[in-house]
Amino acid sequence: MSTPRSRESSPQFELFAATAPGLESIAAGELKALGIKGRQEAGGVAFDGNLDRVYLANLWLRTASRVILRLGRFHASTFYELERRTKKLPWPDYLPESGRIEVRVTCRKSRLYHSDAVAERVLAAIAKVAPSGVDLRVSASHGEGEEEGDASPGQTQLFVVRIVDDQCEISADTSGELLHRRGYRQEVAKAPLRETLAAAMLLASGWQRGDPLVDPMCGSGTIPIEGALLGRRIAPGLRRAFQFMTWQSFDRQLWENTVAKAREAILDSISGISGADRDAGAIQAATRNAARAGVATDLELSERPISASLTALPDLIDGRKAGWIISNPPYGVRLGEDADLRDLYAAIGSALSRKPGWRIAVLTPDSAMARQMRVELRSRFATQNGGIPVNFLVSEKSGRIEPTTGKNARNRLASEA
């Protein structure tokens, strides 16, 4: 590795925290909490900074998918221009000592429209300065979104090339594996929820440390685990590696200082966060995932049906804090029939009406279906989960619009008891 530069001499970069569509404002709020002013753009948040912000963003952002660093931006309408300008970029600082290199190219509305040919020129420029241990036998991949794709740190260095209207941008991925891979979720249940999306639900809901939190359909435990990490201020990237750690410009001392400060920020254990699922295998997976995340003692995980979970909600007598049910209910595939799904939502609403002080937040592809709860809901964000468009709906206050008089809700609860 080359000798690290001090923070004062470290150059300023254009950085970009890529997110799933719809999560840009939440990521911008996270950056603001870190003391970083961001500019929301489609698909993420742009911000400026030196290496310390590269490290800080990767370590702390809960809703971003990756952090990329702009190496250069220039006009390129011919391959000669592309080759000449590409050779001048500071490649050595952002190359690993060994591993693979992948170039992802997007060309739109430009004279340089052949993405494979563009990738070949970029790889040729890298080859001139790459360490001997780097494997350049890679194929270019093509994708529109900087949030997409994945790589393992130390194995693949991703460079993103975009040519739009003859303007070329070349960026280096700093993250490696997508940031939702915290390292703890090694076991999943059916229809798993990405950690970044679970964190977005918690941050957008209004839930705060100290508020009771229940996910009665927790699967492998992502929402309760992310709640514990958030409530204890445990940096989500504390247990994983990042691609920037393989760079020749990696400042190990700066990184160790950043990690040390993150460890000092961790709060004591908390209580009041629970998850349940009727699938015993899911709860076993959730328990092991929580242990890997370091929050096993902060959670109550149990095998029980939704009806029992809702019945067991504690009464909030003092009224000083809200209780939260935050969940990702089935989308219909697992239940098979729309009628069953309507009954499920109605049952949740019926139980909620008997528990003053509790609020609900659900991720759903069908807002009309969620209205079966007869709770006043408002959308906090819209995105996609597993390729399915979904809305995150949050009750503005506890209580129902009107009581449920039909027998379906009662039958649903009785059938799951």
Q: Which CATH number does 195-232+267-416 carry?
A: 3.40.50.150
Q: Which residue in the block uniquely carries the two structure tokens 């902060």?
A: 298
Model confidence over 307-341: pLDDT tens digits?
999 999 988 866 557 899 999 999 875 445 678 88
**What is the signed CA dihedral for 283, 288, 290, 295, rounded to 10 degrees?**
120
Residue 337 has what pLDDT? 62
* Contact present, 365 and 372 (Cβ < 8 Å): no
Residue 79 has what pLDDT? 96
Residue 281 has what pLDDT? 95
- Integer-rounded Cα radius of gyration of the chain: 24
Residue 136 has what pLDDT? 75
* Domains 13-173 and 195-232+267-416 alike in fold: no
> Does the domain made of 13-173 have the CATH classification 2.40.70.10?
no
How far is residue 64's CA from residue 58's CA, in Å, rounded to a whole number? 9
Amino acid at position 32, single letter: K
Model confidence over 257-284: pLDDT tens digits?
999 999 999 999 999 999 999 999 999 9
Those residues of the chain that have pLDDT short of 70 are: 1-10, 137-154, 317-320, 333-337, 398-417
Domain ranges in the chain? 13-173, 195-232+267-416
Residue 356 has what pLDDT? 87
| pTM listed for this prediction | 0.89
